[in-house]
Structure 1
Amino acid sequence: MDDTESSCTIRYAEVTVTEPDILLEVLRAIADRAGSCIVCFDADKLAGQVHAKAALRLARRSLEAGAAISHSFEMEALLYAAGSRQCSTAVSFGLHKGENHLYVCCCPATEGIWDLLSNQLQFRAGPSEDLSPERKNQLMILFAISPAECAAAGENRLRDLVLERVALLDVSK
């Protein structure tokens, strides 16, 4: 486990958002108050919590190496989650208007931060890490993974292919 994984704590939450910008301002204020970074990933677009962990780890490494695309850890993590250099694409992997299923990441998870966040988000037990056929199809579309590529990688390797796309962002920089 690297330093990013040990310094970040991830929990699953749900929230219905009418004004994303307002909620993001509130989350930034909580992060500033707690001396932390808060990243919210759209769990419906990720290949499980391992995907969020990989995005956090790669974002931290990119910032530390001076090779970041963005100017913030939060946006860099979203870029890695999306496997894209485009901020407009990365933003779609975060908080959005309507019903949200989120992996909420606090880096570091400072004392009291989860209490502050629980006033804004409803924390729940996380979803199953199993990928339903519908989720597999959605991930294949999101990450441009062909059926032939899935077949070549082997049964039940879609998550690995998604994580490969996430890691390949370094190559496309």
Structure 2
Amino acid sequence: MEHECEIRQGIADIPSIPAFLESVREIAAATGTHIICFDAEKIAGKAHARKAVGHAVRSWREGRAIANSLEMEALLYAGGTRQCRVAMDLGLHEGENRCYVCICPPSPAAAEALERILRPDDGDWEGIDEAKKMRLMKRYAITGEELAAAGGRIRPLVFERIALLEVNR
């Protein structure tokens, strides 16, 4: 399992989560990859996904994983939580989803197969508007004082919460 992952962004119209996840699992199995999907509306950008997957891969390699799969381990790190139910909220939902899809290790065959269920989108998704900032503050228990101390930059505070999961295991 390579630490290097390719992160793509795309839009998925999902009528059924179980059916969508089964398709993702089939693609992963057929291509020898791990495929991890994050709801782009609920995380602090592509770097957030990359950090979560990096921590998950490291904990998996070192035998310290909490979850039964790398995919769930990455969701736990992304959420900064040990609770699978809480972490699953960072995954996808029924309806239209803007999502970051991590393919570990990178695989052109997996990327091509995913295009059957995911429309690629090369737009700029990195912005954090006021509504998203408030969602992130609530999800990661970030106070106004912390945000002010960080110069109004929320990403470093979210990344800190991810790193704290390492300490709090």
Interval of TM-score (by shorter of Structure 1 and Structure 2) = over 0.9
Q: Find 2:154's aligned residue among 158, 162, 169.
A: 158
What does residue 170 of structure 1 align with? 166
Matched, 1:26 2:35: no
**Aligned pair in 2 of structure 1 residues 137, 81: CA closer, same or farther (>3 Å)?**
same
**d(CA) in 2 for partners of 1:56, 1:113:** 17
User: For 1:128 and 1:102, how far apart are their aligned partners in 2?
Assistant: 10
Q: CA deviation at 1:127?
A: 3.2
- Mapping of residues 15-94 of structure 1, within 5 Å: 15-94=12-91
CA apart distance, 1:128: 3.3
SS at match of 1:138: helix
For residues 113-132 of structure 1, the C-alpha deviation after alignment (integer angstroms, 9 at most, x for no partner) is 11111011111114331221
Across the two proteins, how many residue pairs are aligned to each other?
A: 168
TM-score (norm 1): 0.93
**Cα distance in 2 for residues equivalent to 1:62 and 1:154:** 31
Paired amino acid for 1:132: D
Structure 1 position 96, deviation (Å): 1.3
Distance 1:25-1:11 versus aligned 2 partners, 3 A rule: same
Unaligned runs of 5+ in 2: none
Percent identity of the aligned residues? Answer: 45
Tell me the TM-score normalised to structure 2 length.
Answer: 0.95
- The one of 13, 28, 33 equivalent to 2:10 is 13
Structure 1 consecutive aligned stretches of length 4 or more whose deviation exceeds 3 Å: none
Q: Is the 8 A contact 1:39 1:106 kept in 2?
A: yes
AA paired with 1:87? C
**Partners of 1:151 and 1:135 in 2: how far apart?**
17
Query: What's the CA shift for 1:64?
Result: 1.1
Aligned-residue RMSD, C-alpha: 1.1
